[in-house]
Amino acid sequence: MKDTVTKLQASSKSDVDKCIRLREELKQLRDAIKDISDKGKLELSFIAIRKCKDKIQ
């Protein structure tokens, strides 16, 4: 029983760490998209949006 709880805790921590990392990456992409769209570079904005969608999936 104790082993099962330990494994679940480790798995949960790993999932949380991945979510935190992905959240930070998405924030960086969001900021990049904002900067790109502010400069009127729509092609780069499209590429950045695609990368965001790939990260989410």
pLDDT tens by residue, 14-42? 889 999 998 898 888 888 878 877 766 77
More confident residue, 57 or 8: 8
Q: Under a CB-based contact definition with an 8 Å cutoff, are residues 36 and 45 in contact?
A: yes
Domain ranges in the chain are: 21-57
Neighbours of 47 (CB within 10 A): 14
Detail the DSSP E strand segments found in the chain: none
- The 10s digit of each residue's pLDDT in 41-52 is 777 777 777 877
Cα–Cα distance measured from residue 56 to residue 26, given in angstroms and rounded to the nearest whole number: 8
Question: Tokens 């590429």 — which residue?
Answer: 47
Task: End-to-end CA distance of the chain: give it in Å, rounded.
Answer: 34
The answer for residues whose C-beta is within 8 angstroms of residue 2's C-beta and 6 or more apart is: none
